[in-house]
Chains A and B, each alone.
Chain A
Amino acid sequence: MPPRPVRPTASVPAGQAVPPSRLAEPVSVQVDKRRRGPGPRDRQRARRSRVARKWVAIGLFLLPALALYCLLVVAPIFQAFHYSGYKWNGLSSPTNFVGLDNFKRAFQDDVFRGALKHNGIIIALSLAVQLPFALGIAWILNQRLKGRALLRVLFFAPFVLSEVVAAVVWSLMLQPKGLADHTLDAAGLHSVIHDWLADPSIVLYSVFIVVSWKYFGFHMVLYLAGLQQIPKELEEAAAIDGATTRQIFRYVTLPLLGPTIRISVFLSIIGAIQLFDLVWVMTGGGPVDASNTMAVYMINHGFKRFEFGYASAVAVIMLMISLVIALTYQRFVLRRDIQGALTTQGR
């Protein structure tokens, strides 16, 4: 979005080409006389008061948002940094400063490293399975299918439900002899049946299934919106030139969908780093920490063991990971989109 032009604040009316050496009084006086308006003093005063009024308006309009945001978003984030240097139970005020010990402890703790790894696995699986699936469905819906609106509503429905609802319903479906096992049994796939939520080697994948169920509709809707912005003529032109459906998708659709895909990948990564509600309700991070995530680990240490300083350090680690990913992404991936946007605007 191009920034709006800044109102000129010098005493020369806009649009008057004046050589820099003659910027002083005479010119503007002359102009004013010709317009028979109020004298230069009055005009200056009027403009100054207008500028002042503008700043007052800006201040007043921005103040509530800034206050709310600084008090409850910015300040707590800085406080997390502050707390992370202490060994503290969260009750009195923190006094026992331990420097970077909390961070050292986290990275030496196998459980935390496991949680970090689990977040990584969820991210990798989301990018490799969930997003391509969402893209595939979006592509199908974009082929002018009948009932497309209804299908879109159905696919998006899980996103509207809370993670808690998803977790409770899915744990019941996945419990031994639940709906999942019954269905597999009926399909003659008895050997596939596992302890979906109790087997440490499987539980993380069960969680991933539920994450995908809940969120693929959101990514699908993003892709669909992106696909609908691609002019049909481009794909039709490629078809006339004899390109196959696959070639059209690969060489026309996919590149044009690039910006949407990159945003969706980014949102998916950031979301997976913060995965909490679903795991907390479904497994509590268990069995034997096999489905633990960083956020679950943090809440466990903060609110169950009252290690507020240590839990804050974990929060800071999560924040730093998000920030590094966001900045890297901004620098190396999104920049291309921004440049693209600028070149199409003719700059």
Chain B
Amino acid sequence: MATADTTIARRRPGATGRRVRRIGARTLLYVVAWIAAIATLVPILYAILGGFRDTGQLSTNPVALPDPWVFSNYTGILKSSTFWHQVWNSTLIALVSTALTVPVAALAAFVFARFAFRGREVFYTIFTLGLLFPVAIAILPIFIMVRNLGLLDNPLGVALPQAAFGLPMTIIILRPFFHSIPSDLQDAAAIDGCGPFRFFVRILLPLSRPVLATVSVLAIVGSWNAFLLPLVVLTDSGGWTLPLGVTNYSQQYTTDTAKVLAFTTLSMVPALIFYAFAERQLIRGLTSGAVKG
């Protein structure tokens, strides 16, 4: 008892010193974290605010708040049909390719997760290898194929290859989730005369809503941001998606920086809104595959 008391007494001065130092260190951590966060935000804020300036303001004082606030850049773009055309094209392609990838990948992931059969791991490995091969490597043959199918300048010419290249990632995320659903459930369903497909549609998919949301968000954002495939397949400006539109707009108005920034900002609004609502799903999806070791 006595010894315990003395040790505590002896430690006390050191402990307070440590606490002071710890508080100092914590403040330092906050400062570093927030400086880095603000630095990360600068380009995004620069684009948003830049859209509210005129080009003269941008070259004289790009740092401060706009003075006066100019709205014509944004309103001009929002009134132009080109912009809305591109929004529509981007949306259509994102929806079609997601509507293809997710169900197709879910069926495959279901087989990989819940059936035991010879060659399963081989097939699964073939799909996972696809993660290594982005569209860039196969873009020339894909272009030839899309041309031979007559799908150049057709949204399907972008959506189909995109859906195919989205399969590996989607299957890899879905499989462990499907696997984790207790097999008793399937056995019970089977006793009640429920075949694998009915089980898949009626029981597995409804139970997997969160992970399905995750892979859908990933697919939509991926498609929304895709550049190379649309660049190659969509030559006619009427079919362009937003990334193509942004590139073209920035080349067209090289001197009118403010307009370019306004257009860029508007093009990233949907992605940012999506992010604001589905941040959890996005991050969970991206980390679930990688942080397993």
Q: Is the CB of B133 within 8 A of A319?
A: yes
Scan A276-295; emit 1 where CB is below 8 A from any B CB, else 0. Answer: 11001100000000000001
- With known contacts A57-B197, A154-B41, A165-B267, A141–B104 Cβ distance under 8 A: no
Of A7, A73, A74, A162, the residue contacting B116 (CB under 8 A) is A7
- The answer to the question of B237 belonging to the interface, with a C-beta cut-off of 8 Å to chain A, is no
Instruction: State how many angstroms separate the Cβ of A82 from the closest Cβ of chain B.
Output: 8
Given A164-B225, A315-B138, do A77 and B133 touch, yes or no (CB 8 Å)?
A: yes
Assess whether A315 is in contact with B140, with CB atoms less than 8 Å apart.
yes
Q: Interface stretch among B1-9, B206-214, B269-277?
A: B269-277
Interchain CA distance A277-B163 in the complex, whole Å: 19
Q: Which of A4, A151, A165, A323 has the most CB of B within 10 A?
A: A165
Complex interface: chain A residues within 8 A of B250 (CB):
168, 171, 281
Q: Does the CB pair B132–A157 fall under 8 Å?
A: no
A179 touches B140 (CB 8 A): no
What's the Cα separation between A347 and B271 when bound, in Å? Answer: 45
Distance (whole angstroms) from the CB of A115 to the closest CB of chain B: 13
Q: Is A337 an interface residue (CB 8 A)?
A: yes
Partner of B246, one of A158, A164, A177: A164
Task: Find chain A residues with CB under 8 A from B272 CB.
Answer: 157, 160-161
Are A6 and B116 in contact (CB-based, < 8 A)? yes
Residues of A within 8 A of B228 (CB): 276-277, 299
Q: In angstroms, how far is the closest chain A Cβ from the Cβ of B285?
A: 11
Report whether A221 and B140 are in contact in the complex, using a CB–CB cutoff of 8 Å: no
A320 nearest CB across to chain B (Å):
10
Chain B binding surface SS class: helix
From A21-29, A106-114, A197-205, A256-264, the one touching the partner chain is A256-264
**Contact yes or no, B37 A151, CB < 8 A:** yes
Given A160-B271, A267-B290, A277-B228, also A312-B140 (CB < 8 A): yes
Cα–Cα, bound, A229→B291 (Å): 9
Contact call A161/B140, Cβ cutoff below 8 A = no
Complex CA gap A140/B268 in Å reads 29
Expressed in whole angstroms, the Cα–Cα distance for A183 and B111 within the complex equals: 56
Cα distance A64–B63 when bound, in Å? 53
B127 within 8 A of A: yes
Restricting to B26-72, which residues have a CB under 8 Å from any CB of A? 26, 29-30, 32-34, 36-37, 40-44, 46-47, 50, 59, 61-63
- Is A80 in contact with B104, judged by CB distance below 8 angstroms? no
Q: Contact mask B194-212 → A, CB, 8 Å, 1/0?
A: 0111001000000000000
Per the bound structure, the CA–CA distance linking A101 and B92 in Å amounts to: 42
A198 CA to B291 CA, complexed, in Å: 40
A65 on the interface (CB 8 Å rule)?
Answer: yes
Q: What is the minimal beta-carbon distance from B89 to any residue of chain A, in angstroms?
A: 14
On chain A, the residues within 8 Å of B111 by CB distance are 57-58, 61-62
Contact in complex: A172, B290 (CB < 8 Å): no
Q: Closest 7 interchain pairs by CB? A: A259-B293, A162-B225, A72-B164, A65-B108, A76-B141, A79-B141, A76-B138
12 pairs, A vs B, C-beta closer than 8 Å: A54-B115, A57-B197, A58-B115, A64-B104, A72-B163, A160-B275, A169-B47, A182-B63, A222-B286, A263-B290, A281-B247, A315-B140
A residues engaging B (CB < 8 A)? 1, 3-7, 54-55, 57-58, 60-62, 64-66, 68-69, 71-77, 79-80, 83, 90, 137, 140-141, 143, 145, 151-158, 160-166, 168-173, 177-179, 182-183, 186, 213, 217-218, 221-222, 225-226, 229, 245, 259-260, 263-264, 267, 270, 274, 276-277, 280-281, 295, 298-299, 302-303, 308, 311-312, 315, 318-319, 322-323, 326, 337-338, 340-341
B contacts, CB < 8 Å to A: 25-26, 29-30, 32-34, 36-37, 40-44, 46-47, 50, 59, 61-63, 100, 103-105, 107-108, 110-111, 114-117, 120-121, 123, 126-127, 130-134, 136-145, 160-161, 163-165, 167, 171, 176, 179, 183, 195-197, 200, 221, 224-228, 232, 243, 246-247, 250, 257, 260-261, 264, 267-268, 271-272, 274-275, 279, 282-283, 286-287, 290-293
Known: A66-B108, A277-B228. 6 other contacts (CB 8 A): A7-B116, A155-B36, A158-B44, A160-B221, A162-B227, A308-B140
